[in-house]
Structure 1
């Protein structure tokens, strides 16, 4: 009956997926945040004013040294790429794999925040590698001005962790990609397929009556 079929179809259909839980939305958000973190590392995190004598330019006045985030906090670049790969992998992962990916992205986000916060806590120590490369002297004293990009890295890292924690919750609304995620799918497909003699014997061996 048309009415009965419509009722059964309505019972099988799942409620609409919330906007925040859509796979495309969440994966895109994680990718954007990871790329934002990566982008900050290509910018200047610190401006170091060197002593002219240390720079080998006595009497020439102070020299400004620009330190990129990739040099001030080298781990941030790598962790941003790890988070990006994890977000893309979540789009095709199963239920268990999504929990693993969530843990990986959260740990990467924590590493990003910790590395950027370390630079903010002691910018001179973070700049020592670049100062030594420019002057040939390690342990130099200099004036360091921090830009806004380390703060942006911290903010993006925190948001990245929040977005990662939403993956398991949003994954409940995602359609299964494998037979293991949808245990009833195989049974429905078998019921819809025509039954031959071999199928009948197989069902009898499982205790089912094909008639």
Structure 2
């Protein structure tokens, strides 16, 4: 009698245990797919874009003011005794390097694994160039202003009193932060979903070899990649 009374409960217990195991398995992938706030693709790409634009924006402002000796001005008189030098003229490379970093940050959003390493290196080098160019202006502002002084007065090698504005320092800060943000691409990209057909093909190869296929919602890009391989994304 005791054995017969307990027998009907066993199938129910097995079904309950199986359901619990299934629920546990369903929860684990969700936890593993959780992306930290700092590693979100949109957040990191936006941060790199803002820092690159900040470095670019400093070059549109006055980096230094050169006050010339009135005896060297000649016939131009007081009109050219004070010259304001923009960052784009004091450090011409900063503008181009900031645009390179901006393009690299946008490209990192759709690049593959190997391309992200290359893009990271490009952004870091561009940021280092921004810092170097701005630091050169801070170290020797008179030399950086000579081009603008010569264009305004027609006299090269003039002596002048040069006063710096805060914008070269801001360019250095933006360049340093830009390099740090670029380095975050490498650890953050481990949480990013495959966006190209090459990454999708690699994931499909892993699944065919016995690995676990990638889980998660399918977006428009993934759907087109699967259709190009002859698969039904639905």
Which bin holds the TM-score, normalised by the shorter protein? 0.7 to 0.9
Matches within 5 A, 1:150-161: 150-161=168-179
Q: C-alpha distance in 2, partners of 1:3/1:61?
A: 84
Match for 2:117 among 94, 99, 116? 99
Which is helix-richer, 1 or 2? Answer: 2
Q: Would you say the 8 A contact 1:52–1:58 is kept in 2?
A: no
The number of residues matched between the two structures is 192
1:7 maps onto 2:24 in alignment:
yes
Say if 1:141 and 1:165 are closer, same or farther in 2 by CA, change over 3 A. same
Gaps of 5+ in 2: 1-17, 214-234
Name the TM-score, length of structure 2 as normaliser: 0.75
Instruction: Tell me the alpha carbon deviations over residues 91-134 of structure 1, each in whole angstroms, 9 at most, x when there is no partner.
Output: 00111111100000000011000000000000000000000001
**Structure 2 match to 1:129:** 147
1:142 maps onto 2:160 in alignment:
yes
Q: C-alpha distance in 1, partners of 2:124/2:175?
A: 9
Q: Would you say the 8 A contact 1:67–1:127 is kept in 2?
A: yes
Q: C-alpha distance in 1, partners of 2:171/2:64?
A: 13
Say if 1:72 and 1:58 are closer, same or farther in 2 by CA, change over 3 A. closer
Q: C-alpha distance in 1, partners of 2:114/2:79?
A: 60
Name the TM-score, length of structure 1 as normaliser: 0.83
Per the TM alignment, residue 52 of structure 1 is displaced from its structure 2 partner at its CA by 2.0
Per the TM alignment, residue 60 of structure 1 is displaced from its structure 2 partner at its CA by 4.3
**Structure 1 match to 2:63:** 45
Q: Which has the larger radius of gyration?
A: 2
Per the TM alignment, residue 187 of structure 1 is displaced from its structure 2 partner at its CA by 6.4
RMSD (Å), alpha carbons: 2.4
Gaps of 5+ in 1: 193-211
Out of 45-54 and 165-174, give the one that drifted further.
Answer: 45-54
Per the TM alignment, residue 63 of structure 1 is displaced from its structure 2 partner at its CA by 1.9
Say if 1:43 and 1:139 are closer, same or farther in 2 by CA, change over 3 A. same
